[in-house]
Chain A
């Protein structure tokens, strides 16, 4: 079955540590997105990529980095510069010509 796989489901970060969240899709979608969800709040866009080897900052990119070396993969690194990283992170993808997003099941990141 086609879909988006995020791993791990739960992740813990120590002070000063970088952590990487995985996102893989087998939907053959060109565009991929990372959103952050905080309790009681909507989703905020971190980074997006419309095509392989290209990505753009979203609304809250500070303290995060991404890469897009393969069409099916869009990993997100939460760096030590992100001072409030505890949140639920959602990866999404979109087919060219379509507007709806397909979402993965998310990664809950917490700080130890």
Chain B
């Protein structure tokens, strides 16, 4: 079945540091890939997505490239801010199952210190 593996957190960085959060996946077929962000006590918000191999999703300074050869979709940001502190979830679409739901990783907590 489909699955998503993310690096464990928490990831603690100083403001303006470079961020990488690793995400790898296992899927049948060719899923779309997503990054969602969750702030404390809230639901998930879509951060970015990519629908096919070599696509790069980007938003608010965050980027991730769909790498089919390594089945990865790592999230990066060149300079993090305190306001980026949140939990980040990698996800893939269940295209082949017909239910069209998303399968999520376990989430990575990011803490950015001033």
In the complex, the chain A residue whose C-beta lies closest to that of B4 is: A42
Instruction: Indicate if A70 sits at the interface (CB-CB under 8 A).
Output: no
A58 touching B104 by the CB < 8 A rule? no
B101 touching A105 by the CB < 8 A rule? no
Assuming the A-B contacts A94-B100, A100-B49, are A40 and B107 also in contact, with contact meaning beta carbons closer than 8 angstroms in the complex? yes
Assuming the A-B contacts A41-B107, A106-B42, are A99 and B32 also in contact, with contact meaning beta carbons closer than 8 angstroms in the complex? yes
A100 touching B101 by the CB < 8 A rule? no
Instruction: Indicate if A48 sits at the interface (CB-CB under 8 A).
Output: yes
A104 CB, min distance to chain B CBs, angstroms: 5
In the complex, the chain A residue whose C-beta lies closest to that of B49 is: A100
Give me the interface of B with A, judged by CB distance under 8 Å: 4, 32, 34, 36, 41-46, 49, 51, 89, 93, 95, 99-102, 104-107
